[in-house]
Amino acid sequence: MKKMINNININPNSLFLNTRDFKWKAAIVCTIVVFLILFLLQPFNGIVHGFTLSGILRILSYALVVGLTVLLTEFCLIKGFKKIFPGNRFYLPLIWYSLTLVLVTTAVFIMKNAWSDFAYMNWYEYGIVVKRTLSIAIFPLILLFVFLLNQKKKSDVLNLQADQKNEFLSVNQDQLLYLQSQDNYTEVHYIKNDELRKKLLRGSLSSFEKQLAYPLFRCHRSYIVNLLAIESLKGNSQGYQLNLRHGETSIKVSRKYASDFRRNWTSHCDKLRES
């Protein structure tokens, strides 16, 4: 599993709901999907609405308890989970969503008993709820992962905007090598179709630095380097020499940036070990 995830270049942390907006959207989508499946398909005996008010309210209660449980786990339990399981291991999203499914199943089981004066409080009935929850959960889970992977693809694309508004360059984050200052221009070096390419954009290196964040790092007054592109390095606190992949390019880290580079490079290596 770990090898498969690495091969398709997925950061496990990107499979978590990392913003309040995503958390609310996930809960709302889960609520709507569960309600529509139970209302339109009526796949389970004993959960049939018959177009009666009580039947529709029962289905709605199941959908709402699913959505509320998702909100509870995402807003109240995720911080504790990440404290217990720190890092960026490939299996952590699997553990987290499995835990969420257990909590959702338990909440649905309690709701089922609330509708039947707690006549089904036994492990056999819990097993039935587990099967039903899993059969429905596959749909919102697929939607969730497709959404998160799509968001990751968008975040992996860097859009470098030149001073001239109609001039820009879009390049995948892992294909960008470095940016080099050329007076009032900046030369972007990147990989496309396994070939080294470069493009000259109007604008100072500082203006492009403001557009970029990790893993891009200003290492010299004339260079911004992609930490992902570094193949090897040598040097000490007085300065480093970086050897980049895809060619014989070597870039110097000036003394001014050496301390910040060492800190960023150490953090970068830690993230790679955790992934």
pLDDT tier at 22 (50, 70, 90 boundaries)? Answer: confident
What is the arithmetic mean of pLDDT over 16-44? Answer: 87
Concatenating the DSSP letter of every residue in 149-160 gives HHHHHHHTEEEE
What is the arithmetic mean of pLDDT over 14-36? Answer: 85
pLDDT of residue 248: 66
Higher pLDDT, 131 or 214: 131
pLDDT tens-digit map of 45-86: 777 777 888 889 999 999 999 999 999 999 999 989 988 987
How far is Cα 74 from Cα 261, in angstroms, rounded to an integer?
A: 35
Non-local (6+) Cβ contacts of 228 within 8 A are 173, 174, 215
How far is Cα 156 from Cα 170, in angstroms, rounded to an integer?
A: 10
What is the number of residues in the chain? 275
pTM: 0.57
pLDDT tens-digit map of 249-265: 788 888 888 888 888 88
pLDDT of residue 237: 65
Q: Does domain 157-274 have CATH number 2.40.50.1020?
A: yes
Higher pLDDT, 233 or 32: 32
pLDDT of residue 137: 84
pLDDT of residue 16: 82
pLDDT tier at 152 (50, 70, 90 boundaries)? Answer: low
pLDDT of residue 5: 41
Half-sphere exposure of 159 (CA within 13 A, CB side): 7
- Name the one residue in this structure whose structure tokens are 């786990």: 73
pLDDT of residue 175: 84
In the chain, domain spans:
2-155, 157-274
pLDDT tens-digit map of 79-126: 899 889 876 677 888 899 999 999 999 999 999 999 999 999 999 999
H helix intervals, the chain = 2-7, 20-36, 53-72, 78-84, 92-114, 123-155, 205-209, 255-274
Non-local (6+) Cβ contacts of 16 within 8 A are 78, 93, 96
